Amino acid sequence: MCTFGRLPIWAPCELCPPVEVHLGHFLRHRVRIENANPPPNTVEVWKTEEKGSDVNLALHLLNDAWSDAYDCAVIVSNDSDLALSLKMVKAQHQKVIGLVMPGAHVRKRSVQLRQHADFVRPIRPGMLASSQLPDPIPGTTIRKPAGW
């Protein structure tokens, strides 16, 4: 059973400790890359990169394990860059680690992450769809993007 500060995972939200969100950021810049169908030999494209999220998550996971701030960590990621931090938490602190893997129905699940997890769950499209707010959100004019 996973607990948050000794509360069961199914405890009402008002009993659970606050959730902390640590964001990374995106960089967008022009780069020249090799063209798959030359000529020309190279083409200029926009490259968008997400920076900092995996490092932030790994550091907080390790720091919170060292300070014994959790019994069970549930990581929402399929990023194999996190594998070493999960391995260290398991080896040094014997914490329970769960993985919730987005895109698991269309992408291969990270073997590197799975080998350090106590349990793995996919985020299935139906679960994601049923978790969204209604469109429009009642009492507002806020609507979902058409592609959702």
Whole-model pTM above 0.75?
no
User: Mind listing the pLDDT tens digit for each residue in 19-54?
Assistant: 666 677 889 999 999 999 999 999 999 999 888 888
Higher pLDDT, 90 or 9: 90
Determine which helix (DSSP H) or strand (DSSP E) holds 72, and give its type and residue range: strand 72-76
3-state secondary structure (DSSP) of residue 87 = helix
User: Mind listing the pLDDT tens digit for each residue in 115-127?
Assistant: 999 999 888 878 7
